[in-house]
Amino acid sequence: MNKCLLLLKIQLLGFFGINRMRYSRDKKTKQRLLLVGIGMISLCVLLIVYIIGASIGLVYLDLVEIIPPIMLIVCSTITLIFTFLKSNGVLFGFRDYDMVMSLPVSSGSIIASRLLSVYITNFLFTAMVIIPSMIVYSIASGAPLSSWVMIFASLLLIPILPIIIAMIVGALITAFSIRFKHSNIISIILSCACVIAIIVLSTNMSSADETTLSELSNSFAEALKSSYPPAAFFGNALNNGSWLSFGWFTMISILPAGLFILILSKFYTKINSALFSHQSQSNYKLSDLKISTPFWTLVKKEMHRLLSCPTYFLNAYLGIVMMVVFSIALIFIDFSSFEAQLGITDINDKVKIYAPLFLSLFIVLGSTTSVSLNLEGKSRWIPFSMPIEPIMIFKSKIGLNLLITIPPTLICSLLFMFQFKTGILETIYLFVIPIIYVFFNSLLGMICNIKFPKYDWTSEYHAVKNAPSALVSTLLGMLTAIIPLGISLVSGEYAWVIMMLTILIISTVTIMMYQYLRNIKGNILGE
């Protein structure tokens, strides 16, 4: 077998717990993995149903022609963001680097194998979006057989370019940051800036122009040409059966990948060597040592952990970063122009009652607690051989999440308060509900990580990105915010009652979760 494929095989065995499921003799491990598997399949089914619904909606709006490019944009944006978030641990700084590099395999094969592992997960997502939407498109447009040849070929091509763009940006950030003493913090700042830029750009693209519905198709096509040419080529290839456009689309997708592997393989060892060689001064002199309580020393250690790993920071904290960006952007939004465009009056009054749950939606997008136990990895013998109760360890991990989440949440509530000019009751909700969700989400993440731990990782990004605990925690968190938001949207003037009930229910569940954590005794290593 090709060496690149052999390297890929080893990585894939670690994905989604496939090998563990096959060979583990522990029934509990198998049950957990089965549960996660069922959850993931349900999510996929939901996504497919949503894509079919959205495509049918576009057909009814007589916008059949924009289905191919719009679906390509969806796939590319998601692939771009998610690949970028894990780009740090995929190519650089993984724990088995020494072992892999000592094998008689070229750097190009190693890079290709690691890119392929990312490609496969993104390909699955692309297939779930493109196949159902293209079935709807083909039926509605009466597409010829040749279109299907293009569709199947494009399935393989679509994820390539966004993956390569994300990897290039990730590689540049890594190469730039390693020059600094606090390279991780530089990397975190640059990565946050990039993710915000991607989100802002894609938002601008989707609201390209202020046009009427009938003109949307043309204006969208124009916007695509200028902002993401591959989508324009893809749309033209399918809508007009143009093989020339398809040829361009293929070339734009494949060429950068080949060039990237070629160039990176020349500098690969150099970048990784720089990452692994740390500044060591060997000039320490013992001086006054500060004393902390066990709790604070544990929290400080958690903070060091967070700042040492850009992948951890970005995945756990992206929701909060987005919340802050959105809240600041809100100051510059002129609601009166929206009212004129949509023909609705008093948008301000209608929206402000839902603002607390809207903020909470950002809060539940991630938490440090949902993967913080995973990140103990092989070092977990340290906390569990120390003379402290498990609750102390949980409290320190929850404490970090509270410490980094509460201040930005309060600032966002304050910004919302000024923008919406809320009354007394609305202001109370605006501050109380998001804070309750911060506590709820921190505890939920902790419990999910206890129930679905993943300690056997070779790269931190596996502990963060491929963690069932993060997936389960985010899904449950989103459900608990979306359900009351949906109910309050349909309950009209009684929305404030829903808010009150939300406070009661979420607080009660949070207290129950805390009691559950308090009652955990002994070690929680699962050995």
Partner 1 sequence: MSIPVLKIENLTKIYAGGKKAVDNLNLIVDAGDIYGFIGHNGAGKTTTIRAVVGVMEYDKGDIFIDGHSVKKEPILCKSMTAYIPDNPDLYEYLTGIQYLSYIADIFGITKQDREARIEKYGGLLALTKNLGDLISSYSHGMKQKLVLISAFLHHPKLLVLDEPFVGLDPTAAFHLKNIMKELCDAGSAIFFSTHVLDVAEKLCNKIAIIKNGQLIASGPTNVIRGDSSLEAVFMEVSVNE
Provide φ and ψ at 166, rounded to 5°: -60, -40
- Which of 65, 64, 87, 68 has its CA nearest to residue 76? 68
Q: Please spell the DSSP secondary structure of 442-511, one letter per residue.
A: HHHHHHHHHHS-----SSHHHHHHT-HHHHHHHHHHHHHHHHHHHHHHHSGGGHHHHHHHHHHHHHHHHH
Number of residues this chain uses to bind partner 1 (CB under 8 A): 46
Considering the rule CB under 8 A, would residue 382 count as an interface residue with partner 1? Answer: yes
Considering the rule CB under 8 A, would residue 282 count as an interface residue with partner 1? Answer: yes
Q: Which stretch binds partner 1 (CB under 8 A): 159-167, 192-200, 378-386, 406-414?
A: 378-386
Separation CA 405–CA 300 (nearest Å): 16
Separation CA 453–CA 318 (nearest Å): 22
- Which of 448, 446, 406, 436 has its CA nearest to residue 320? 406
Considering the rule CB under 8 A, would residue 386 count as an interface residue with partner 1? Answer: yes
In single-letter form, the type of residue at position 210 comes to E
Considering the rule CB under 8 A, would residue 102 count as an interface residue with partner 1? Answer: no
Identified binder of partner 1 from the candidate list 142, 343, 387, 492, rule CB under 8 A = 387
Considering the rule CB under 8 A, would residue 179 count as an interface residue with partner 1? Answer: no
Identified binder of partner 1 from the candidate list 279, 341, 515, 519, rule CB under 8 A = 279
Considering the rule CB under 8 A, would residue 527 count as an interface residue with partner 1? Answer: yes
Nearest to partner 1 of 81, 388 (CB atom): 388
Nearest to partner 1 of 135, 185 (CB atom): 185
CB of 512 to partner 1, least distance (A): 25
CB of 298 to partner 1, least distance (A): 8
- Evaluate whether 227 touches 205 at the Cβ level (below 8 Å): yes
Nearest to partner 1 of 15, 276 (CB atom): 276
Quick one: CA dihedral 31, 34, 40, 46, positive or negative? negative
Identified binder of partner 1 from the candidate list 102, 207, 280, 519, rule CB under 8 A = 280
Q: From residue 150, how far is each of 20, 59, 238, 251, 487 by CA, in Å?
A: 38, 21, 7, 14, 43
> Tokens standing for 414?
């304050």
Nearest to partner 1 of 167, 298 (CB atom): 298
Q: What angle do CA 301, 302, 308 make, to 5 degrees?
A: 90
Q: Please spell the DSSP secondary structure of 184-209, one letter per residue.
A: HHHHHHHHHHHHHHHHHHHHHHHT--
Nearest to partner 1 of 179, 278 (CB atom): 278
CB of 208 to partner 1, least distance (A): 44
Identified binder of partner 1 from the candidate list 388, 487, 505, 509, rule CB under 8 A = 388
CB of 12 to partner 1, least distance (A): 24
Nearest to partner 1 of 26, 62 (CB atom): 26
CB atoms within 10 A of CB 6: 13
Q: Which parts of 292-351 interact with partner 1 (CB under 8 A)?
A: 292-294, 296-298, 300-301, 304-305, 307-309
- Evaluate whether 244 touches 259 at the Cβ level (below 8 Å): no
Q: Which stretch binds partner 1 (CB under 8 A): 1-9, 154-162, 278-286, 501-509?
A: 278-286
- Which of 214, 212, 167 has its CA nearest to residue 194? 167
Considering the rule CB under 8 A, would residue 278 count as an interface residue with partner 1? Answer: yes
Identified binder of partner 1 from the candidate list 142, 207, 290, 490, rule CB under 8 A = 290
Separation CA 505–CA 277 (nearest Å): 51
Nearest to partner 1 of 358, 455 (CB atom): 455
Separation CA 236–CA 233 (nearest Å): 5
Q: Which stretch binds partner 1 (CB under 8 A): 52-60, 332-340, 362-370, 372-380?
A: 372-380
Provide φ and ψ at 372, rounded to 5°: -65, -30
CB of 145 to partner 1, least distance (A): 53
The distance of Cα 344 from the centroid of its chain, to the nearest Å, equals 34
Considering the rule CB under 8 A, would residue 389 count as an interface residue with partner 1? Answer: yes
CB of 515 to partner 1, least distance (A): 20
> For the window 12-51, what string marks contact with partner 1 as x by the rule CB under 8 A?
------------xxxx------------------------
Separation CA 9–CA 113 (nearest Å): 9
All residues at 6 or more sequence positions from 117 whose CB lies less than 8 Å from its CB, including other chains: 8, 11, 12, 15, 90
CB of 278 to partner 1, least distance (A): 4
Considering the rule CB under 8 A, would residue 180 count as an interface residue with partner 1? Answer: no
CB of 457 to partner 1, least distance (A): 12
- Which of 409, 357, 471, 475 has its CA nearest to residue 82? 471
Considering the rule CB under 8 A, would residue 178 count as an interface residue with partner 1? Answer: no
Task: Mark out the alpha helices in 92-182 (DSSP H runs).
Answer: 97-101, 107-141, 145-157, 160-177
Nearest to partner 1 of 387, 492 (CB atom): 387
Q: Which parts of 61-90 interact with partner 1 (CB under 8 A)?
A: none
Q: Which stretch binds partner 1 (CB under 8 A): 155-163, 235-243, 359-367, 386-394?
A: 386-394
Nearest to partner 1 of 137, 312 (CB atom): 312
CB atoms within 10 A of CB 431: 18
Nearest to partner 1 of 317, 429 (CB atom): 317
Contacting positions for partner 1 (CB under 8 A): 24-27, 277-286, 288-294, 296-298, 300-301, 304-305, 307-309, 377-379, 381-382, 384-389, 522-523, 525, 527
